[in-house]
């Protein structure tokens, strides 16, 4: 692009309006390395009628006993405590998942 004289960088400011008023929870997952971990968690969230707002899976960084582990973090909007409990149960049944914790985000608390 640097060789094109008439090229000007263009930006469009975008603001997403979140009309979904369901509480948001931060899920922290410890799991075995698995190429399909993100998609498996995303499917489980969708099955519980949750909305994945953001997510990341880190490179393997810890060893627990003889198991190499990855840490994953997800922001999820879900209907409430009942749906969250079902989601956590579903996540714990995934073969690679070893631990799952859920914390309400600041937006959900206030």
User: How would you label 18-57 residue by residue, b for 16+ Cβ within 10 Å and e otherwise?
Assistant: eeeebbbbbbebbbbebeebeebbeebbeebebebbebeb
The per-residue pLDDT for 17 is 62
Assess whether pLDDT exceeds 60 at residue 50.
yes
Which residues, listed in sequence order, are joined to residue 102 by a DSSP beta bridge?
27
pLDDT tens digit string along 54-72?
Answer: 999 987 776 667 788 999 9
pLDDT tens digit string along 5-36?
Answer: 665 666 777 665 666 788 999 999 999 999 99
**Cα gap 31→38, rounded to integer Å:** 11
In which residue are the tokens 């008439």 written? 6
Classify residue 26 by its DSSP letter: E
The per-residue pLDDT for 38 is 94
- Give domain limits for the chain: 24-109
Homologous superfamily of the 24-109 domain (CATH): ACT domain (3.30.70.260)
The per-residue pLDDT for 60 is 77
pLDDT tens digit string along 62-109?
Answer: 666 778 899 999 999 999 899 999 999 999 999 999 999 999 886 554
- Token pair in block for residue 73: 């973090």
**Cα gap 30→78, rounded to integer Å:** 21
**Confidence (pTM):** 0.74
């Amino acid at each position: 692009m640097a060789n094109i004289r008439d090229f000007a960088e263009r930006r469009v400011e975008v603001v997403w309006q979140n009309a979904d008023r369901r509480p948001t929870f931060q899920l922290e997952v410890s799991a075995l390395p698995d190429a399909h971990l993100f998609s498996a968690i995303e499917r489980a969230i969708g099955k519980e009628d949750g909305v994945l707002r953001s997510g990341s899976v880190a490179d393997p960084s810890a060893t627990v006993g003889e198991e190499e582990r990855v840490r994953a973090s997800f922001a999820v909007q879900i209907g409430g405590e009942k749906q969250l409990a079902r989601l956590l149960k579903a996540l714990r049944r995934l073969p690679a998942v070893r631990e799952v914790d859920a914390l309400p985000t600041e937006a959900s608390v206030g």
